[in-house]
Amino acid sequence: MKISNKRTRSQSSLRPSKIPLYRPVSHQMSREVENVIKDLEKEHRESHYLDEEIEISRSKSQTQRSLCKTYASWETNNDLLKIKISVLEKELIKEQNRLNETILENSELREKISSKRKIQQNSKRAINELEKQLKTYNNPTENNANLDGIDFFQKRQVNLLRCKTARPKSMIFEKSKTLELTERTLPSSKISSTKGENELYKVSRPYESIRIVNLLRKMIENRRILLKEKQAVLDKYTSHVNYLEDAFEKIKNATGMVSVEEIAAAFIRSESQRSHMHTYFNDLTIEIEELEKSFVTISNSINDLKLLNCKGETLAMSSKNEILEKAKQTQSKNTKALKELNQIEASFRVLGSDINRILKLCEGLVENTEWDIKLEEFSFMKEDYIRNVLGKVEELIHFISSSQKQTSTWEFATQITQNRKEMKNLKEFLEEKDISNDSKVDTLKGPASVFELRALTEMMLTRKKYR
């Protein structure tokens, strides 16, 4: 890549100063390549960090899924669900923040990669332009051919002008010879005429020489312009080559690479690394999209859990309301039952006083009947006791009713008392004889209610009063 700096004196006079007018593209490209390599290393580190965070988020998502599966079996425990849902919401907020951070990092990485792609494209364009310039400088035959063509055209024009001037010169030379001969032969008058012709020749000849001089000046100016352009191009080429040599020497000193092939292979490797980084970045974007999808699914599952919790709360509230309504109904029933019991107690107390009167009236009527009734025991309000008392009262009522309708009953009773025969049960005796003809008494085919017994006793008392 080295170029011989041997030049002519004219070229050395037109040699520019050592201070470069601008920085070449190769130098900028080397710096940009170093910056790109540093940025790629940073991106590689950031990608490792992102991989670790993604693995952590995956593990957390798996734990959350397992927790969601366990929460599905814990629908009844509303308090535990609320606590766990709050924990999950906090974790969700943390994951949302992490996702936002990863998305921001992803966007920054995309911007960096896009900028680096632009830089790479610009660098490729600059390299292509340099290659074209190198090709043009490496094959100077084309430029020389163009210059030779221009020189040939200009030389041709000069030769044409010389030919044009040569013809009148030859004519003038011939005329001058003829004039000399004529001067020798002709008189002085003719000599004056020849002098006028010579003056005309002298007037026409300067005009042609001025034209030739102008053409030569134009040719010289064009030549100078071409030389300046060539000199500028050569200076640029040499400056580019010098910068390239400096860049290659720096790369050699930094990397230890001696040949250009190794440096080119290193650049190719860096491009392959860039392609790998692009693929890795695409994989990261795909994983981030999958994480976003998993985040959406987890949020949906959490919303489902919240809905289940709300449903459980609604069911609990509805069941609670039903239980309260049932409790109110039972309370109303209990109050009604208590009222009925109080009414029954009051009625039974009234009946107790009436029964006491009946017993006092019936003490001397029936003999050989054992009364185990004690009025003090009415306060206990036992069903068996009440049934026994009412049964005995019923027997008395039957006996009294039978004694009113049949006159022979008293004689039969006195015979029984006198003879002290063994009697059957009064109830069986009444059933065998069918003494009672009262329709109301006959209709009692089972244990009568308290109200019916009360009505019967009131009827008996009224009958006894009207006797």
State pLDDT tens for residues 165-213.
555 556 656 655 665 665 555 444 444 444 444 444 444 444 456 666 6
What angle (nearest 5°) sits at the alpha carbon of residue 113, between those of residues 130 and 121? 20
Element (H, E) at 48: helix 25-72
Core vs surface per residue 188-200: b (16+ CB within 10 A) or e: eeeeeebeeeeee
CA distances from 361 to 4, 274, 353, 356, 364 (A): 163, 126, 12, 9, 7
Residue 210 lies in a domain: yes
**More confident: 170 or 129:** 129
Residue 182 lies in a domain: yes
Q: DSSP letter at 295?
A: H
Query: 129 and 265: one domain?
Result: yes
Query: 123 and 185: one domain?
Result: no
Residue 345 lies in a domain: no
Q: How many alpha carbons fall within 13 Å on the CB side of residue 69?
A: 5
pLDDT given for residue 247 in this prediction: 77
Determine which of 14-28, 268-282, 433-447 has the lowest per-residue pLDDT on average.
Answer: 433-447
Look up the domain containing 223 and give its range.
Answer: 142-255
Domain boundary among 207, 223, 255: 255
**More confident: 282 or 363:** 282
Contact 436, 442 (CB under 8 A): yes
Domain boundary among 202, 230, 255: 255
pLDDT given for residue 432 in this prediction: 42
Domain boundary among 255, 278, 307: 255
pLDDT given for residue 428 in this prediction: 43
What percent of the chain clears pLDDT 70, i.e. is strictly above it? 46
Query: 385 and 437: one domain?
Result: yes
Query: 150 and 61: one domain?
Result: no
Residue whose token pair is 């002290």: 420
Confidence check: pLDDT of 335 > 80: yes
For the CA atoms of 331, 332, 334, 337, what is the dihedral angle to 10 degrees? 180
pLDDT tens for 396-405 read 777 666 655 5
Count of domains observed in the chain: 3
Contact 302, 92 (CB under 8 A): yes
Query: 33 and 164: one domain?
Result: no
Residue 351 lies in a domain: no
Separation CA 95–CA 90 (nearest Å): 9
Separation CA 214–CA 155 (nearest Å): 15
Contact 305, 71 (CB under 8 A): yes
Separation CA 426–CA 442 (nearest Å): 16
Q: What is the pLDDT of the chain when averaged over all its residues?
A: 66
Query: 282 and 203: one domain?
Result: no
Query: 15 and 129: one domain?
Result: yes
Residue 267 lies in a domain: yes
pLDDT given for residue 72 in this prediction: 57
Contact 464, 404 (CB under 8 A): no
Query: 223 and 292: one domain?
Result: no
Confidence class of residue 3 from pLDDT cuts 50, 70 and 90? very low
Confidence check: pLDDT of 96 > 70: yes
Query: 105 and 247: one domain?
Result: no
Query: 96 and 169: one domain?
Result: no
Residue 207 lies in a domain: yes
pLDDT given for residue 199 in this prediction: 45
Query: 22 and 132: one domain?
Result: yes
